[in-house]
Structure 1
Amino acid sequence: MPARSTDAADGPATGAPPMRRVVVASFLGATFEWFDFGLYGTSAAIVFNKEFFPTMTPLVGTLLAFATAAVGYLARPIGGLIFGHFGDRLGRKSMLTTTMLIMGVSTVLIGALPTYGTIGVTATFLLVGLRVLQGIGLGGEYAGAALNTLESAPEGRRGFFGSLPQVGNPAGGLLATLLVAACATMPEDQYLLWGWRIPFLLSAVLLVFGLYFRLRLTEPKEFAEVKRAGKQAKVPVLELLRTCPRNFFLALGARAVDAVAGNVFGGLAIAYGVTVIGVDRDVVLFASAAAAAVEIAYVPFIGRLANRVSRKRIYLFGVALIAVMSYPFFLGIGSGNAVLIVLVMIASLSFASGTEFAVQSTLLAEVFPVHLRYTAISLVYQLTATLGGLSNLAAVSILIAMDGSPWLVAGLLVVIAAIGFWCTAKLRPATSPATAALPATTRALPGAAE
């Protein structure tokens, strides 16, 4: 992270926190949120199918475990709509604190939840309820963390600063994978009895640290200008659909490829490798951790590049890489070779998916005006995240129907990537009469969509 050098780089002279503090608060919060959500996905693939659906066959149990995970994705648009509305009406800071509390408490409670063997089907209902709360909390997190950084960032460096909250995704996923892998080294009967709970309960520590930093934030400068001018939308979602329908629907198509690819290259890889191919669980977990570690370093590199190169071009290149890697990914996992599995996971998750993910929040912010951004980005991200969450459910169903063959899943991923490529190419920078009276930097981020 670059050291502070000028007032412009650190923050406005109005008493706002320095840029470093803004980045740390957004990054830690995003890491914590993705740790919680990723922890559930990893546990669904290797624990919940046994502990909450023990009467099913392994693959069907995995399908049902992913179904509970998908419920969280279904809840995310609800959270996006709620927190997007108040984030555009009242401000970014209070929404970030609230989403973190909802996610944190839900995750800790999952770690204390009785299993099917203790209270029967009630355990499954409680698990689903807590997963819904996780989804609602995460629904408002992504846009808030991204905008808190982007709307405070200095001109000419928004590509880089916009990529830093994105690092929270692989960082949180890596932390979750490492903790699960460490706990999974204990004897399996002990791990299934109580060891899997440790990462969920430890999230309470991350919650305290994240809240400490977020409570010290102020509103980012660009939204503060909107608020001072009294330009907030009365009902942001209605104004969004009235003034920006084209970019909204194109953004949905552009973001969908990342949502689906991230789940296929991530959670499905673990389930497919362990359940269908019979790869040792530790090999797949190591490959997932290695991919996340590479992505942590790779995303800021792409962010720096995005200070000089069009964010749209970078995003298009990443989408094309996803299509190219679709078939090699399953070939590598299906080989059962540990080295090949690690290589295809890094190529797919770190480089292909990581390229477009690095510039995603900046690109989305650039196609929506400030007074509608929280709602727009929340809905775009969370509606497509729902599609992504359901993709694992659909993919496992296809694997069952195709007797474990992954090629139809790979083909569908190529089709989704092609749609995402076209939609991204059609996006245009934000224009809106509602913000015409605001400073130019508040109407749309510069250097943007092309």
Structure 2
Amino acid sequence: MRRPEEPRIAPTARRTVLAGFLGSTFEWFDFGLYGTTAALVFDEVFFPAQSTAIGSLLALTTTAVGFFARPVGGLVFGHFGDRAGRKKLLITTMLLMGIPTVVIGLLPGYATLGAAAPVVLLLMRILQGIGLGGEYAGAALATIESVPDKRRGFFGSIPQLGNPVGGVLSSGLVLLCTWLSSDAQYEAWVWRVPFLLSAVLLVYTLVVRTRLAESGDFARLQREGGVEKAPLVALLRGHWAPLLLALGARTADAVTGNVVGPVVTAYVVTYLHRSDSIGIIGTMIPSVICLPMMLCLGRLGDRFGVRRTFVWSVLSMAVTAFPMFALLQTGTLVWMVLGITVFRLCNSAQFAVQSTFLAELFPTEVRYTAVSLVYQVGAIVGGLTPPVAYAMLVACDGSPWWLALAVVGSVLFSAACAAAVGRRFTRAPHRTAEAPQGDGADLAEGTLRP
């Protein structure tokens, strides 16, 4: 329930919040579906000539390709998003993510197309990455910039809910498909069903996005004539310090989100010789639990500060990394799922306020470029994580402790960078006077300056 002192949200802003949530849901449905399916069957479908371990490594490497394409999309869409506005690009990003997902569901395997099959798979993955590279910042900023400043922590957490919701949808569909079919049937054709069903979510999201209004912050920037002609140049010239700290702060999420996803699933199947459904169940349970938790953390960010909430949430992952792998090694279903669940909840805690935390570091005229660059360069680290982490498991003959130590190191590094933001930067008012608060679109912003 909205407290009396909280500013009201206009209908146009509500549509923007919904559009951001739907786009984020599709984004994480798309990438979660690919990562899970790649860990389960892509080694047999697209790389059947390799051993089980090497085939899994190659399949996870195709996951990384999409991550490497994301910075390209982030720079391209960030440039035009800072010059032309947020809403104009959101339909294009959805098409670039959605169409390749459907094509993957129709793509014949190695047995039919030979070497062309993995090549086309990589091409579709690249297009997905380019679209996703522009989607995250556009959806998050359109939401954050359209609501009152005092409620940006809470509403900024709503697009982040797309992560667990998309994860539940993708994992639920994969789990249902594995339960309703034999291993041979799933490998032959059933794995394609969730990819094809994604067309329903794609069409609905596109319909919603055709009715969007421009975000409040950018609309005001246009009225003031403050739009940057070269936002990347302006970002690197005048905001390099917060850019570097933001890149460091994003590292933990990029690493841990991919370790606890496809890497843990592959580890459970290959080295613990347990059902692949354990990793899927361990994704679905925390994805449901974290929904109210993330909204509460958004409110805490509004009350106690987004940076402080972000730092403590990041540190919680350092505490739970080793226990997660210890519980996995018990071989008991309940303890294994509990370990994955607790670690995923800690990851979701920092993710709830991440977009608002990043948006506050940069002024409107370079914000789309900056947030896209931070998120997508971090995605390169995330894209490298599955093959590197799995290679560590192969080198250690399935022992997870060096991998757990690497996870803790990345978490502590990110927490230090996020904490440094508070020590080196202070909030300064926008250079223009605050406009009247009507629909939440004409609110004065605060940016972090050296």
Query: Which TM-score applies when normalising by structure 1?
Result: 0.94
- Structure 1 distance, partners of 2:61, 2:36, is 13
Q: What is the CA–CA distance in structure 2 between the aligned matches of 1:316 and 1:130, rounded to whole Å?
A: 36
Query: Which one of the candidate residues 93, 102, 107 is aligned to 1:113?
Result: 107
**1:291 and 2:290 are equivalent in the alignment:** no
**Cα distance, 1:444 vs. partner?**
3.8
Aligned to 1:86: 80
Partner of 1:207: 202
2:188 pairs with 1:189: no
The question of 1:416 aligning with 2:438 is answered no
Residues 381-400 of structure 1 correspond to what in structure 2 (within 5 A)?
381-400=375-394
Aligned to 1:48: 42
Q: Please tell me whether residue 235 in structure 1 is matched to residue 230 in structure 2.
A: yes
Percent identity between matched residues is 47
Q: Where does residue 439 of structure 2 map in the other structure?
A: none
How many angstroms apart in 1 are the aligned matches of 2:112 and 2:4? Answer: 58
Corresponding residue for residue 275 of structure 1: 270
Of residues 343, 355, 370, the one that matches 1:361 is 355
C-alpha distance 28-251 of structure 1, shift in aligned 2 (>3 A): same
CA distance in 2: counterparts of 1:443 and 1:401, whole angstroms: 54
Tell me if structure 1 keeps the 8 A contact 2:427–2:446: no
List alignment gaps of at least 5 residues for structure 2: 436-441
Correspondence for 1:223 among 210, 218, 221 = 218
> 242, 252, 264: which one pairs with 1:257?
252
Quick one: structure 1 residues 4 and 116, their matched pair in 2 at CA, closer, same or farther if it must change by over 3 Å? farther
Q: Is the 8 A contact 2:100 2:124 kept in 1?
A: yes
Change over 3 Å in CA distance of 1:305–1:258 after alignment to 2: same
2:47 alignment partner, SS class: coil
Q: Which runs of 5+ in 1 are unaligned?
A: 12-16
Does the Cα contact within 8 Å between 2:265 and 2:278 map onto a contact in 1? no
- Residue 20 of structure 1, CA deviation: 2.3
Equivalent in the alignment of 1:14: none
Offset at residue 293 of structure 1 (A): 1.3
**CA 1:7 to 1:402, structure 2 compared with 1: closer, same or farther past 3 Å?**
closer
User: Secondary structure of 2:375's match?
Assistant: helix
Does residue 427 of structure 1 match 2:421?
yes
Q: How does 1:158-173 map to 2 (within 5 A)?
A: 158-173=152-167
In structure 1, C-alpha distance between the alignment counterparts of 2:70 and 2:3, rounded to whole Å: 36
Kept in 2, the 8 Å contact 1:369–1:430? The answer is: no
Deviation at 1:45, TM superposition (A): 0.6
Residue pair 2:24, 2:162 contacting (<8 A) in 1 also: yes
User: Are residues 1:326 and 2:325 paired?
Assistant: no
Tell whether the 8 Å contact from 1:82 to 1:140 is kept in structure 2 after alignment: yes
> Which residue of 146, 149, 161 maps to 2:140?
146
Superposed structure 1 runs of 4+ greater than 6 Å apart: 3-7, 430-433, 440-443
| Deviation, structure 1 residue 445 | 3.9
**Aligned mates of 1:87, 1:5 — CA distance in 2:** 34
User: Match of 1:115, as an amino acid?
Assistant: G
Pairs aligned (count):
440
Aligned to 2:330: 335
Asked whether the equivalents of residues 368 and 431 of structure 1 are also in contact (C-alpha less than 8 Å), the reply is no
Q: Which residue identity does 1:18 align to in structure 2?
A: T
Measured after TM superposition, the shift of residue 443 of structure 1 is 6.7
